[in-house]
Amino acid sequence: MDSRDWIRDGLRAVLSGLIAIPLAVLNLPLFGLSLAALVLSIVPGLGLLLFPGITLLVRARADLARRLAGRAGVPIRRPYLPPPERAVAGGWRYYKWIVTDPATWRDFAWLVPGAVAGVVLGALTLAIPAYGLEGVLLIPLWISLGTDWYGYGAIWPIETVGEGFLSLPQGALILSVGIAVAPYLRRFDAHFGRLFLGPTRNAELRLRVSELTVTRADTVDAQAAELRRIERDLHDGAQVRLVSLGMTIGLAEEMVEADPAGARKLLAEARETSSAALADLRHLVRGIHPPVLAERGLDGAVRALALAVPIPTTVETALPGRLDTPVESAAYFAVAEALANATRHSFARTTQVELWHTGSALLMRVSDDGLGGADPSGGSGLRGIERRLAAFDGTMSLSSPPGGPTVVTMELPCASSSPKITPSSGTG
């Protein structure tokens, strides 16, 4: 890690510790309100309103802790049950959903321990570098002045001024240790919070089933849409040309004796129609599974794809010899869609494609220097990429601030089929 990255991460962790202390203190009044709401919930009608409201506040505080933990490198998934259909705030269904969710009570159980851990670890995150900073800045300053801050006279003999600067390297060492340790303290706090705020094993299984249900439905919809596209392309393309081909050959058969020259002309038209129909079929096959992908693998197929992009495209890869065919196909079409988005919407001058394998996942990054501002909900095809990757438990993340650059990062879990890695790079 570069020294600047190390310092930046440490300072961010120190700032996170500074923020964590007041947030941790906020847990205590929330805990008091939760107890009061729990006691008052026995009052008819009042519990239906008060307890769910306090619970939503606690969940908001827990969600904030989850986001901070994610920034510290410890992702925590939301473990809550989905709300029932036709549940209205203040109604019995809504109240029952809140009360019967185990995550509700785990949030309440976290409030006090989370407050203690947050204050202690946050204070340590601040105290160590602050103590070192005092040695680096304040002690030499005081000794060089030889007086206290209030101007009441010398507090060190003048002959000890030079000796005081011996604390400078000690302070620098403590400051460096504090900055280096700060990210680990924040991660420790995040891991402690995950004990309460993360989903249990049963909740993980429940969330996994929900994800698979959604993924399966999206996959079925995508497959149905793909079949409709193939049927439409066949009907509007190759089928029309083949019907025309048959009619032309039939006319040529009728004219072959009476008008040989006209028959030859019709046969020439039939030959052109058959060539066009063959081109349509080849184009359709490329949309299903490109032959270049089967022949040259993902590396060669992406390079061939980059050559067809109308803007300069750089390709850098570090891939195994071959991956599983479904994975290669999904990755190829995901990269193709990302490049198409960059070409159509970003007004980019250059694009870059990076592919590499980590041993357990295939990572893809498509970036461009365009205008930025890409939004998956804007119908730019990014939702299609997400659905395609989700069928393999893959994920997509997008960074596209206004003014650019746009970076689409995709991950597909997969094992390498060959231990040999062949890094290469090129420009299309």
pTM, full prediction = 0.56
Average pLDDT over residues 153-166: 44
Average pLDDT over residues 166-183: 81
* Per-residue model confidence (pLDDT) at position 107: 93
Residue 397 buriedness (CB in 10 A; 0-12 / 13-18 / 19+):
exposed
Q: Are 178 and 134 in contact (CB under 8 A)?
A: no
Which stretch of 30-44, 53-67, 345-359, 375-389 has the lowest confidence by average pLDDT? 375-389
Task: Quickly state the pLDDT bin for 193 (edges 50, 70, 90).
Answer: very high
- Cα–chain center distance at 137: 41
Which stretch of 63-67, 231-235, 256-260 has the lowest confidence by average pLDDT? 231-235
Q: Are 372 and 427 in contact (CB under 8 A)?
A: no
Among 120-124, 137-141, 307-311, name the most confident range: 120-124
pLDDT over 70 (residue 246): yes
Q: Provide the residue type at 236 as one letter.
A: D
Structure tokens at 313: 């495209």
Task: Quickly state the pLDDT bin for 116 (edges 50, 70, 90).
Answer: very high
Please state, in angstroms and rounded to a whole number, the distance separating the CA atoms of residues 112 and 225: 52
Please state, in angstroms and rounded to a whole number, the distance separating the CA atoms of residues 103 and 197: 8
Residue 276 buriedness (CB in 10 A; 0-12 / 13-18 / 19+):
middle
Q: Which of 357, 403, 366, 368 is nearest to 385 (CA)?
A: 366
Please state, in angstroms and rounded to a whole number, the distance separating the CA atoms of residues 114 and 197: 10
3-state secondary structure of 364: strand
3-state secondary structure of 191: helix
* Per-residue model confidence (pLDDT) at position 138: 62
Q: In angstroms, how far is the first alpha carbon of the chain from the final one?
A: 32
Average pLDDT over residues 163-168: 50
Average pLDDT over residues 61-89: 84
Q: Are 334 and 427 in contact (CB under 8 A)?
A: no
pLDDT over 80 (residue 52): yes
pLDDT over 90 (residue 214): no
Structure tokens at 181: 């340790």
* Per-residue model confidence (pLDDT) at position 375: 77
* Per-residue model confidence (pLDDT) at position 51: 82
Q: Which residues contact 87 (CB under 8 A, 6 or more apart)?
A: 93, 94, 97
